[in-house]
A and B are shown apart, each in its own frame.
Chain A
Amino acid sequence: MSTAPVAQNPLINAPSAPPRRPRVLFVGAAFGAAASVLLVAAELAVYLQVRGQLASAGDATFPEGVVLPLTPGSMGMVTLAMSAVTISWAVYSLRNDDRPNAYVALGLTLLLGVAFINSTVYLYQQLAMGVTASTAGTLLYIVTATHLLMVVVGMLFIAVMGFQALGGQLTGRDAEGMSAAALYWFAIIAVYVVIWYGIYITK
């Protein structure tokens, strides 16, 4: 058994951590969100061009027998709209050091994220279209799958910030990390509004 003096343990008398510089993660998340949004937007642009050319040639967008269902897409929209409320709730609670509420809100947001992924997978099932069925079909999968990837990244971001909150950080003024995650999450929702309108509604 070591007889090292107690005073040598760095955990004793360790100074508290200096405050974080504000805005760094928030601004970085804004840039990251812009890049992610543009990635989906560029893929969507190609999809719209292909669809437009098929339409002007008088052809259908998808192969015969394939119908793009609206309900799962709309369900996804409702799910994400609800998650916008829960993530705002989480940010507000953390800022006011109301941690139980923050944990509930974060859990709900992640749950809604999973529900959204589920609704998209259900849409793929309803669609019952092979990946190689047509150019537009392949592009539809590319756009929606990239958006799903964005959702997964957003959920990981929220989970990482949630871990920090559980570990006693992100308190009061220092809670900006969650605002950054929320900003990214809102970007995800904004992109989905465009996908929902541009792909599922206008067809």
Chain B
Amino acid sequence: MTVTEDAPVSELVAPAPSTPASSPSGLVAVLSSGDHKLVGRLWIVAALAQLLLVLGASLYVAAMRLDLAGLTKLTDSPSDWFSQIVTYRAIGGTFLVLLPITIGLATVIVPLQVGASTIAFPRAAAAAVWGYLVGSGLVIGAYSIDGGPFGTSLDGVRLFVAGLGLVVVSELLAWICIMTTVVTLRAPGMTLARTPLFSWSVLIAGAVWLLTLPVLVAMLVITYVFVRYLGEDSASIYARISWVFGPPAVYAFALPVLGFIATVVPVLSATRHHLHRFARTAIAAVGALVIGGWALPSFVGASTPWLYQLPWVAVSFLILIPVLALVGLWAVTLRNGQVTLASPLLFAASALLMLLVGLLAGAVQAIEPIKTLVDGPATSLYGTSWTTAVASYVLLSLAIALLGGITFWAPKLIGRGLREGAARGVAALLLVGTVLWSFPDLVSGLLGQGGDIPGPVAENVTAIEGLNAVSLAGGLFLALGFLGFLGLVVQAIRGHEGVGDDPWSGHTLEWATSSPPPAGNFPSLPEITSEAPLYDARHQEASAQ
């Protein structure tokens, strides 16, 4: 570097700090860090805080459905804040909570799993989390001034669209950082084929979101302009983006669930993943099927040309094949090994069960002859609360898997372990809660209850209201589970008990470093000759003895 050679003499004698500046701490560290572990934790903490808001909104929506006649009066009135809260529950639950936790977990774990010293573009990854925070602030601010979808404040509505746009673009940026990490920063010896399955599922999820989120941004840009210049109704916003919550796009949320299960099952049965290569292909196949931006409503006129057409029906059914194949592989893996029934495995089993029910219900929904059971003109299941239930099964499956992921990777995330018994209790609560929350919606969908925003129901009112009460009870279980989990995490952070570097006898590289990992992640890396380098090392040692 020529700068060193040509520096003028007068500058050479100037006092200069030769020691590196003291490493920042506190708020400055948070604001200025490019460390992927801190950035990822920031995603998770911010999203968990917003989970409380979404939880409140969900319980409110569930409680309001106990009196359908009163609700219809409310949604027909000019100040329809119920519909706004429904949209907040859906948009907040996905783009402000679940996707950010997924991104946060991936931001911390993926660089560790692939043996990288940092995430790719660390400063951009930090910018993504700040963009998300600012954007979600704008979204919540817009709701607070009556500007969500169905809102009446024009400025608020524009603020909502702009804020959500910033959130989505930030998430897209975060996915690009994570994907680039998996593709370009893998340790020597770790070919893409040997990438751990969680990182692989995150890569595939990233590819799917890369081909989905821009479509959403485009819809938001168009909506912004149309609301701003053509005086379009604010109800159109939700109609233009709610395709994300319907099949096949909603299944994209489930990809990291598959990766989490595929990580936990071999570790907790102390054996290799059966046919790792096949599992990789199956996850990629799910990815190809869930790029769902094409199944969105027509821009002009009231039509959904894809509904009950061959591509939509085929995708709804085909997705079951790779997922069931994965279930088979996991069953064989469990049978091959010695199973430890630890909490991550319970989370994994619950998430898998809920995902399967969701996918099956989605496939049933794609059969056109199956109609609602009403005396009047029967309608198709799509658009009833059956559709909402499919989304809740899939999204709650992701929520369970994410909490399971935080439990499993807690040593790397916070340097402590969560209390095992209590974590199992949370897993059970979430499973029961999800079933009670979602299953009644399937039945009430059959009985003719409308989807997110139930319109007037002509018959079966008592039965539907009873089912909605069960659903509310499920919501309370879920709330208890989520709050209990937050308590567990807080307790673990405040506790002083350390946890080993590798408490689960893990297979992949994140367990080859300390808990929590140091700056730069790895002092040294083991040799990588398969998808489970630590498992190999343990077995080589055992056979050497």
A49 touches B7 (CB 8 A): no
Query: Which residues of chain B have C-beta atoms less than 8 A from A131's C-beta?
Result: 225, 229
B432 contacts partner chain A, Cβ-Cβ < 8 Å: no
Q: Which of these, B1, B213, B229, contacts A168 with CB under 8 Å?
A: B1
Alpha-carbon distance A12/B3, docked complex (angstroms): 9
A82 CA to B238 CA, complexed, in Å: 43
Closest-CB distance, A69 to chain B (whole angstroms): 23
Q: Is the interface of B mostly helix, strand, loop or mixed?
A: helix
Main secondary structure of the interface of A (DSSP, over half): helix
A28 to chain B, nearest CB (A): 4
B121 at interface, CB cutoff 8 A:
yes
Q: Mask for A132-166, Cβ within 8 A of B = 1, else 0?
A: 10010011011000100000000000000000000
Establish whether residues B185 and A21, one from each chain, have CB atoms under 8 Å apart when the complex forms: yes
Contact yes or no, B14 A4, CB < 8 A: yes
Count of B interface residues, CB-CB < 8 Å: 42
Chain B's closest residue to A168 (CB) is B2
Q: Which residues of A contact B215 (CB under 8 A)?
A: 38, 42
Closest Cβ–Cβ distance, residue A140 to chain B (whole Å):
11
Q: Give chain A nearest CB distance to B248 CB in angstroms.
A: 17
List the one stretch of A29-37, A111-119, A185-193 in contact with chain B.
Answer: A29-37
Q: Are A138 and B225 in contact (CB under 8 A)?
A: yes
Complexed CA–CA distance, A50 and B172 (Å): 27
**A13, A43, A53, A139, most chain B CB atoms within 10 A:** A43
Chain B residues, CB < 8 A from A13: 4
- Residues B219 and A42 in contact, CB atoms below 8 Å apart: yes
What CA separation (Å) do A35 and B214 show in the bound complex?
6
The reply to whether the CB of A125 lies closer than 8 angstroms to some CB of chain B is: no
**Distance in Å from the Cβ of B342 to the closest Cβ of chain A?**
36
**Among listed B47-55, B73-81, B175-183, interface-contacting one:** B175-183
- On whether the beta carbons of B293 and A42 are closer than 8 Å, the reply is yes
Q: Once bound together, how far apart are the Cα atoms of A138 and B3, in whole Å?
A: 53
Q: Which of B297-305, B443-451, B473-481, B519-527 contacts A (4 or more CB under 8 A)?
A: B297-305
Nearest residue (CB) in B for A53 is B300
Residues on A with C-beta less than 8 A from B298 are 49
B239 at interface by CB-CB < 8 Å: no
* Complex: A6 Cα to B14 Cα, angstroms: 8
Knowing A138-B230, A142-B221, say if A39 contacts B214 (CB, 8 Å). yes
For the complex of A and B, 8 pairs with smallest distance between CB atoms:
A42-B218, A38-B214, A39-B214, A2-B15, A28-B180, A42-B215, A31-B176, A24-B184
A interface list, Cβ under 8 A from B: 1-4, 6, 8-14, 16-17, 21, 23-24, 27-28, 31-32, 34-36, 38-40, 42-43, 46, 49-50, 53, 131-132, 135, 138-139, 141-142, 146, 168
